[in-house]
């Protein structure tokens, strides 16, 4: 497929199709574990290379679409194959490619049906890339579901003890949300077609639809049902804790680092621009939900004994802040929110990696049974400490940059929200320090010699650690692409 509208190399298509091709090749390799492993690594490396290239091409941002690929697809129903990339998508693509690389390295030792595992990981990557790039509702929906299925199987086949149940809960919950979205999509298509005479699913066309306020509210609700469940906002979050806990390590990494970001990305890309008035009215409710989730999840995390569940709750709590930033509808807050999405993907992703490594070594995830790891595996513990500190928002590390921008932005519009949210900082410290206290400090409870980080594990964690410090001290390169994108979005338009 080549982009018809613009005579340039279809890099975006490559981003989506490369992992898909890799997945198919992995499947063809059947039970040859080693080949599929290297194949998956090569594919994700290539995807990462492409995304890096795009980042260097468009790192300075600039307004409008950075890339736009438009091909006719199912002409009869006005469905087109449109991939488009703006600054936000650029960051998300980069994050996806980076974390996927880490996920594949993390899954390196998976032996059971390994080629299927890698195929699913790559399929997931393809779906995620598609979600972040699609600019046609049907295409978006297609990728939205493509990303759902591999995750279902990753949990259901390679998961922990309650994997079936968790996978089913995940699947049904998110499917219920996305079906609401599908209905809303088709209704919107119909309304737009009746109005203008041209039936089209391309988002750019649908932006011009004139909706009565009742129509707008209902359609907005349909879209938000999918995004709120996916984000997930309390009280629709219980699938995430179960899924994250039961998923295999690489699956948890993808789930927390990327998949739940698609919900927020959907709000930014679809729900807010398509229904500006309804979303403006909904913002206070969104803020309340976000704040409620922020504290509720923090409290739950404080009470949790399983470190994976604790981290799952911390994810929900952090995303509360991200959503709060969006609800403020303010430039700085939005840029902070998007930056926080990226940094959260890094820090919490790395923490999930570390939890998996700890589980591999000690055989437990319970705070009751862990402790004193510093004496046994100092480098592992140091990494754990670093990412925990980043996660609790220590200045100079990644999350702080996003958090403070969100808070600075929110305070200018809604001081009370920001003040309440700031108190969450103490909550984050409370549960993260409890986590650190229970795992790496105290007397050593597992009386075995535990191996420290291996070369492969260094390879996963070191780039993440460097990025966490880099983003903490010099986030400018990652904010720059946002400048040209966020401002027009806030004014209600698209690039």
Would you tell me which residues interact with other proteins (CB under 8 A)? 169, 235, 237-238, 241, 296, 299-300, 302-304, 330-332, 335-336, 372, 374-375, 378, 382, 389, 394-396, 401, 404-405, 407-409, 411-412, 415, 418-419, 422-423, 425-426, 429-430, 433-434, 437, 440-444, 473-476, 479, 482-483
Residue (34 or 176) nearer to other proteins, CB = 176
Residue (215 or 412) nearer to other proteins, CB = 412
Residue (17 or 394) nearer to other proteins, CB = 394
Residue (113 or 483) nearer to other proteins, CB = 483
Residue (254 or 403) nearer to other proteins, CB = 403
Q: How far is the CB of 175 from other proteins (least distance, A)?
A: 14
Q: How far is the CB of 429 from other proteins (least distance, A)?
A: 5
Q: How far is the CB of 393 from other proteins (least distance, A)?
A: 8
Residue (10 or 293) nearer to other proteins, CB = 293
Residue (113 or 434) nearer to other proteins, CB = 434
Residue (180 or 408) nearer to other proteins, CB = 408
Q: How far is the CB of 443 from other proteins (least distance, A)?
A: 5
- What count of other Cβ atoms lies within 10 Å of the Cβ of residue 91? 23
What tokens appear for 454 in the block? 């291996």
Residue (288 or 423) nearer to other proteins, CB = 423
């Amino acid at each position: 497929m080549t982009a018809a509208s613009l005579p340039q190399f279809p890099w975006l298509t490559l981003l989506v199709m490369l992992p898909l091709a890799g997945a198919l090749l992995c499947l063809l390799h059947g039970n040859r574990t080693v080949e599929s492993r290297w194949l998956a690594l090569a594919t994700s490396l290539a995807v990462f290379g492409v995304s890096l290239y795009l980042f260097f091409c468009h790192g300075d941002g600039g307004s409008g679409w950075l890339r736009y690929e438009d091909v006719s697809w199912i002409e009869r129903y006005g469905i087109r194959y449109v991939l488009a990339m703006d600054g936000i998508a650029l960051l998300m693509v980069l994050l996806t490619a980076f974390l996927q690389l880490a996920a594949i390295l993390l899954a390196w030792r998976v032996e059971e049906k390994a080629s299927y595992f890698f195929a699913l990981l790559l399929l997931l990557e393809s779906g995620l890339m598609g979600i972040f790039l699609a600019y046609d509702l049907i295409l978006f929906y297609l990728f939205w579901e493509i990303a759902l299925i591999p995750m279902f199987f990753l949990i259901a086949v390679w998961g922990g003890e309650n994997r079936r149940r968790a996978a089913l809960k995940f699947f049904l919950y998110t499917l219920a949300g996305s079906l609401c979205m599908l209905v809303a999509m088709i209704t919107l298509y119909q309304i737009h077609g009746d109005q203008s005479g041209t039936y089209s699913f391309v988002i750019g066309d649908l932006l011009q639809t004139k909706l009565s306020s009742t129509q707008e509210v209902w359609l907005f609700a349909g879209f938000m049902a999918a995004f709120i469940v996916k984000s997930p906002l309390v009280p629709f979050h219980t699938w995430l804790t179960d899924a994250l806990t039961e998923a295999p390590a690489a699956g948890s990494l993808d789930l927390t680092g990327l998949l739940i970001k698609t919900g927020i990305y959907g709000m930014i890309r679809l729900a807010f621009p398509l229904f500006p008035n309804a979303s403006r009215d909904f913002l206070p409710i969104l803020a309340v939900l976000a704040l409620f989730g922020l504290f509720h999840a923090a409290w739950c995390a404080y009470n949790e004994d399983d470190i994976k569940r604790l981290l799952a709750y911390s994810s929900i709590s952090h995303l509360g802040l991200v959503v709060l930033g969006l609800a403020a509808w303010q430039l700085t807050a939005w840029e902070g929110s998007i930056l926080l999405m990226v940094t959260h993907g890094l820090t919490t992703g790395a923490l999930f990696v570390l939890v998996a490594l700890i589980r591999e070594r000690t055989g437990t995830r319970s705070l009751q049974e862990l402790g004193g790891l510093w004496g046994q595996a100092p480098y592992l513990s140091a990494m754990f400490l670093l990412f925990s500190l980043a996660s609790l928002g220590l200045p100079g590390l990644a999350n702080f940059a996003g958090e403070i921008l969100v808070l600075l932005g929110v305070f200018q519009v809604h001081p009370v929200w920001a003040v309440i949210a700031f108190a969450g900082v103490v909550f984050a410290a409370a549960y993260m320090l409890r986590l650190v206290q229970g795992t790496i400090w105290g007397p050593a409870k597992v009386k075995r010699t535990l191996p420290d980080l291996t070369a492969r594990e260094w390879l996963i964690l070191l780039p993440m650690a460097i990025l966490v410090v880099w983003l903490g001290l010099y986030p400018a390169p990652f904010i720059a692409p946002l400048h040209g994108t966020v401002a027009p979005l806030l004014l209600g338009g698209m690039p």
